[in-house]
Structure 1
Amino acid sequence: MKLEDRSAIVTGGSSGIGRGIALELARAGADVAVGDLTETPSDLGASATTTERIRDLGRDALFRETDVTEPGDVAALVEAAVDAFGGLDVLVNNAGIARGGTVEAVSEDDWSDVLDVNLSGVYRCTKTAMEHLLESDHGRVINVASQLAFVGYEESPAYCASKGGVANLTRQLAVDYSGDGVTVNAICPGPVKTSMTRSKDDDELESWDDDEERAAFYRDRVLTDFVGEPEDVGRAAVFIASDDARFMTGHNLVIDGGYLAR
């Protein structure tokens, strides 16, 4: 397995893209620490927690309640992972939120909240974990940005700004640390089937695809005839975390079904 005997942290790993990444890392052989606000998955049809699924795959797993805006929470997550696994090889900065509205409508609090989680959270987690990643022979930082790091999207000023910041912070961190053996890359997903892309009025839905209008909305924005799954992003994370990507750093890998090609 590509990631046998390696360990990882995934923030925002209880649901959505973070869950998909955590499970694919485990399938590739990694032990995984999940940090999130809650262990309960928000994904439709998900009955088991991410850590339960990881253990079912035969890997070690732990969960720590983590708010990436709180330095103490971040430090506790990193310490727990290092203590449990004997070190740290991979940090996946995935935790993220969105607040909609035009720039006139977005409040100061909403703007600050989005930037604090999506961008400053990457800074905090990377700053805290870096000393351990530098001790690894396979140190990897994988940031989850977005295809919206590169284009504007209606009523999303805070989200677009935060993800653009993550994309360029990825390049900057690569400049500082790649010579020390830690590569830094980002994955930039397009439309993916998660709670963030679901309709808000969907309590009766059994699956993401049951909302036909919403599914059609996203399918119309990609070149493929389907919307991505969290596992599609997870498999990209496995590649970046593996030795196959040892010569890759400072890169923003877009996985968007052709969204940006139009």
Structure 2
Amino acid sequence: MNDFHGVGAIVTGGTGGIGAATATLLRERGARVAVLDRRIDDAPDGVHAVRCDITDPAAVDEAVATAVDRLGSLDVLVNNAGIGAVGDIAQNDDAEWARVLDVNVTGIARVTRAALPHLLRSPHPAIVNTCSAVAYVGVRQRALYSASKGAVHALTLAMAADHAADGIRVNAVAPGTADTPWVARLLEGADDPDTAARALRARQPLGRLVTAEEVADAIASLASPTAGATTGTILRVDGGMTSLRL
């Protein structure tokens, strides 16, 4: 497929997990791709890697400008960068709440704000945010993380409404539990990693974790110029986690 031929795309959090899979897929389908991440040594082959901490407004402005300069144009923004959090409402202090919301929610605002002038010049601009299944269903020990992804859900719809008249499509993907480095670290820290892994698989009706590549495929489908009538959509890629009860 070459539906992204001539398209310039930025993927935040693009050096690992879902971000790396997305950057790789977009490049394979013809896009010129830049990834923004705090650590860029492991960036996928063939992409422009730009070091960026999305909690730093000045760094975001500079990184986006650098990425667009290297790409030549910007047509697609994938707001994928995010961090996790474990615990009930009492287990994360105010500083941790501020840190997670700063990355997962305000980070989207910072990067999008910097990208908007460039997207407005595109003939087919698109933004895709990474949400989560926990924006739809209550999951134990995910209070802070769920709050942040619930905010991403609402923010996506508000952005889609704000920028429809500009021709900028805004959508999101909501993965279930995915086979990513963060989940791997979560399992490593469990008292019984094997039991914890079985529990994660069991809560998704398909009986397995979602792959990063499956989420990347959903992101690409929403970002593609061929999806010109799709905006304000939250696409669930969750193995049935939020909608099926077997």
Q: Matches of 2:20 and 2:40 in 1, distance apart?
A: 11
TM-score normalized by the length of structure 2: 0.93
Q: Matches of 1:244 and 1:115 in 2, distance apart?
A: 33
Describe the shift of the 1:193–1:201 C-alpha distance in structure 2 as closer, same or farther (beyond 3 A).
Answer: closer
Q: Matches of 1:142 and 1:28 in 2, distance apart?
A: 17
Q: Which residue of 1 aligns with 2:89?
A: 103
Task: Identify the match of residue 159 of structure 2 among 173, 180, 186.
Answer: 173
Q: Which residue of 1 aligns with 2:6?
A: 5
Task: Identify the match of residue 250 of structure 1 among 220, 224, 232.
Answer: 232
Q: Which residue of 1 aligns with 2:242?
A: 260
Deviation, 1:194, is 0.6
Deviation, 1:63, is 1.0
User: Are 1:216 and 2:218 an aligned pair?
Assistant: no
Q: Which residue of 2 aligns with 1:14?
A: 15
Q: Encode CA deviations 1:213-237: one digit per residue, 9 max, x unaligned.
A: 3432222011113321111011111
Q: Matches of 1:260 and 1:31 in 2, distance apart?
A: 34
Given residue 248 of structure 1, which amino acid in structure 2 is its aligned partner? Answer: T
Q: Matches of 1:242 and 1:141 in 2, distance apart?
A: 10
* 3-state SS in 1 of match to 2:121: coil
- Is there any run of 5+ residues in structure 2 with no aligned partner, and where? none
Deviation, 1:104, is 1.5
Aligned pairs, number: 240
Q: Which runs of 4+ in 1 moved over 6 A?
A: none
Q: Matches of 1:70 and 1:170 in 2, distance apart?
A: 21
Q: Matches of 1:67 and 1:199 in 2, distance apart?
A: 21
Q: Matches of 1:201 and 1:174 in 2, distance apart?
A: 36
8 A Cα contact 2:202 2:208, kept in partner = no
Describe the shift of the 1:162–1:202 C-alpha distance in structure 2 as closer, same or farther (beyond 3 A).
Answer: closer
Q: Encode CA deviations 1:174-228: one digit per residue, 9 max, x unaligned.
A: 111112111000110001101111144749xxxxxxx643432222011113321
Deviation, 1:29, is 0.9
- Is there any run of 5+ residues in structure 1 with no aligned partner, and where? 41-48, 56-60, 204-210
Q: Counterparts in 2 of 1:1-262, with a 5 A limit?
A: 1-40=2-41, 49-52=42-45, 55=46, 61-200=47-186, 202=188, 212-261=194-243, 262=245
Q: Matches of 2:13 and 2:146 in 1, distance apart?
A: 19
TM-score normalized by the length of structure 1: 0.87
